[in-house]
A and B are shown apart, each in its own frame.
Chain A
């Protein structure tokens, strides 16, 4: 049986699309978190800068330029980390106080907010530092810059982004692992149902799907399938009983009719009467044969694992049947070739049924191969199967008809005129199924080749 691959199962695909949606929403969520956090940090920075500027402006109003200079120097001295940026310059942008070496190369903006690159502030690495600041012109033309080194902020923003990314990766891995586990679990139960179904398709109608009585959806599905199977078995029984009864009930009066014809024949004297009675008897015999074949097929099909199968030598069965039919082929000047191994090939089977299977196939081959045609029978031992092949050089069976010829009463358009009841291959199929032997029809170019693989008896 072909196993469903995990990655091709619909459960896995469904789980994976759920995982994708989950990861996408996680990315969006973390994007928002990052966006709002960094916006908040930026706002807080601006507020801090504004507050510092306002403080300095007040100081300037209270104690003039001298006081301002003093405060700035004090603040610069106390800020060991150097994250605050202060710069006081005269009209010509010459530094008066502060912790910037020179006036930054930057243009002023209407609202006074500026961003510029800080030179020579490396932390031993080459990452450039950026600053955000307000540029304020004091009443007497003095220039003041109040701002902050953004390096630390940038670092914490990066840390947040990194944390979020790792979180995302972890969540993604967890989601995929969870999805695979989930899909595996579902798949295992589906596989169980599939396996049981396959065994049922292969003829074991008594097989049922295992249920664990948890009452979950799979359990319910299994229960329903089991009930459906019960119903199918019941219906099949019914159909079989009805067709058996019809065939049986019609067979008895038909047999009586035939017997009456027999009596009539022995009673009547004239030659002409006897001929037509003989013909009637022959037709009654053909009808009886059809009924018998139908009943036989019905009986074979209803048995799934018969207990009467014993060790049978397929080489002997095939050789006997070929020997039995060989004179018939010779009458049509057909060449009948047989190739079987010298030793016996033992399979578990029923000699009578196997003989009839081969007889039906040989009968067909002789019937459909042309005069002076060629029939080849071979028996090939393989590791697991003994392969029987019967090929003729007749017209063959078109591909589209091949599956239909095993149906009861099905006859090819081209063979309707030839004798036969359309049950021969149905019986072959029933016997093959009883022996768990797959049957194939292939092209013999020209003609039909019937191939049956009989499972080998395990020694």
Chain B
């Protein structure tokens, strides 16, 4: 994947570029907002990672300019400002995700992965499937191997999110933000409990385990190899 990192802090930029390259991405780097905007306009990147506070032109202005120029490249904003109002501002400017510094690298990778897949345009589907697990988004029915599974509304949303990101690592924070719209760290393993409940419904009584725990990162819904 071809990524653009716009970050003025030398150490942070080096760390980001190195980590992303090690994860198999092709990374370009810009050190200020003006350069970043120029590079984003000239090239077709898969995702742009941009710091909110930049010299010359701040991150949100870059995003606004890009969107005004009908450039639809997914943008992930990095920021030290983590309040809800800051986040809303960031998303209103036209960015696709907002990650508060400091963050775990696995979190960034998972989110980038999610953004790249989203641009593939899978959102208009009416049903999703992984192996023999199928969900119907219209009738909100879940079946595994043809057997109907009863889910609570929130469990359905959790499963839907995991299905939409099937094969990707989904972090606990991503689940909190997208399934519950919670932007704080609950400090407890509530998410794990919700996952194990869901697992009890969709995986128990079946030979293959679809919902897997990725140690130190999060979860992944995928068909076993």
Answer whether A and B are interacting partners.
Answer: yes
Q: How far is the CA of A324 from the CA of B188 in the complex (A)?
A: 12
Contacts of A288 in B (CB 8 A): 102
Please give me the residue from chain A that is nearest to B196 by CB atom. A327
Please give me the residue from chain B that is nearest to A252 by CB atom. B102
Nearest-Cβ distance from residue A156 to partner chain B, whole angstroms = 89
Name the prevailing secondary structure of the A interface residues: helix
Q: Which of A258, A320, A352, A424 contacts B102 (CB 8 A)?
A: A258
Instruction: Count residues of chain A with CB under 8 A from any CB of chain B.
Output: 40
Contacts of B189 in A (CB 8 A): 328
Q: Would A359 and B102 be within 8 Å (CB), given that A292-B82, A327-B190, A327-B194 are in contact?
A: no
Q: Is the CB of B186 within 8 A of A363?
A: yes
Please give me the residue from chain A that is nearest to B185 by CB atom. A289
Nearest-Cβ distance from residue A150 to partner chain B, whole angstroms = 97
Q: Is the CB of A350 within 8 A of B84?
A: yes
**Cβ of B183 < 8 Å from any Cβ of A?**
yes
Give the contact-size bracket for chain B: 20 to 34
Q: How far is the CA of A266 from the CA of B22 in the complex (A)?
A: 10
Q: Which of A248, A259, A289, A424 contacts B80 (CB 8 A)?
A: A248
Q: Is the CB of A359 within 8 A of B186?
A: yes
Q: How far is the CA of A355 from the CA of B180 in the complex (A)?
A: 10
Q: Would A328 and B188 be within 8 Å (CB), given that A259-B15, A262-B106, A352-B182 are in contact?
A: yes
Q: How far is the CA of A431 from the CA of B106 in the complex (A)?
A: 31
Q: Would A355 and B11 be within 8 Å (CB), given that A254-B102, A308-B84 are in contact?
A: no
Q: Which of A266, A289, A306, A328 contacts B193 (CB 8 A)?
A: A328
Nearest-Cβ distance from residue A233 to partner chain B, whole angstroms = 22
**Cβ of A8 < 8 Å from any Cβ of B?**
no
Contacts of A424 in B (CB 8 A): 187
Q: Is the CB of A352 within 8 A of B104?
A: no
Please give me the residue from chain A that is nearest to B11 by CB atom. A256
Q: How far is the CA of A397 from the CA of B185 in the complex (A)?
A: 25
Q: Scoring A residues 87 to 118 as 1 if CB is less than 8 Å from chain B, else 0, what string do you get?
A: 00000000000000000000000000000000
A-B contact pairs, 19 of them (CB 8 A): A252-B102, A256-B15, A256-B102, A259-B19, A259-B105, A262-B104, A263-B19, A263-B105, A281-B216, A289-B185, A289-B187, A299-B83, A306-B85, A323-B154, A324-B194, A325-B190, A352-B182, A356-B184, A420-B187
Q: Which of B15, B22, B84 contacts A352 (CB 8 A)?
A: B84
**Cβ of B118 < 8 Å from any Cβ of A?**
no
Name the prevailing secondary structure of the B interface residues: loop
Q: Scoring B residues 11 to 28 as 1 if CB is less than 8 Å from chain A, else 0, what string do you get?
A: 100010001001000000
Contacts of A363 in B (CB 8 A): 186-188
Contacts of A258 in B (CB 8 A): 102, 104
Q: Is the CB of A359 within 8 A of B15?
A: no
Nearest-Cβ distance from residue A394 to partner chain B, whole angstroms = 16
Q: Is the CB of A331 within 8 A of B182?
A: no
Q: Is the CB of B180 within 8 A of A251?
A: no
Contacts of B197 in A (CB 8 A): 327
**Cβ of A154 < 8 Å from any Cβ of B?**
no
Q: How far is the CA of A68 from the CA of B99 in the complex (A)?
A: 133
Q: How far is the CA of A420 from the CA of B197 in the complex (A)?
A: 25
Interface centre among B11, B80, B154, B182 (most CB of A within 10 A): B182
**Cβ of A28 < 8 Å from any Cβ of B?**
no
**Cβ of A119 < 8 Å from any Cβ of B?**
no
Interface centre among A266, A278, A299 (most CB of B within 10 A): A266
**Cβ of B101 < 8 Å from any Cβ of A?**
yes
**Cβ of A255 < 8 Å from any Cβ of B?**
yes
Q: How far is the CA of A254 from the CA of B101 in the complex (A)?
A: 11
Q: Is the CB of A359 within 8 A of B182?
A: yes
Nearest-Cβ distance from residue A397 to partner chain B, whole angstroms = 20
Contacts of B19 in A (CB 8 A): 259, 263
**Cβ of A456 < 8 Å from any Cβ of B?**
no
Nearest-Cβ distance from residue B191 to partner chain A, whole angstroms = 9
Contacts of B190 in A (CB 8 A): 324-325, 327-328
Q: Is the CB of A355 within 8 A of B182?
A: yes
Q: Is the CB of A352 within 8 A of B184?
A: yes
Q: Scoring A residues 243 to 271 as 1 if CB is less than 8 Å from chain B, else 0, what string do you get?
A: 00000100110111011001101100000
Q: Is the CB of B105 within 8 A of A355?
A: no
Q: How far is the CA of A288 from the CA of B101 in the complex (A)?
A: 10
Q: Which of B22, B83, B193, B216 contacts A331 (CB 8 A)?
A: B193
Supply 14 further A-B pairs (C-beta < 8 A) apart from A252-B102, A288-B102: A258-B102, A259-B19, A259-B104, A262-B106, A263-B105, A266-B22, A278-B215, A281-B216, A296-B83, A320-B180, A325-B190, A359-B184, A363-B187, A363-B188
Contacts of A256 in B (CB 8 A): 11, 15, 102
Q: Is the CB of B193 within 8 A of A292?
A: no
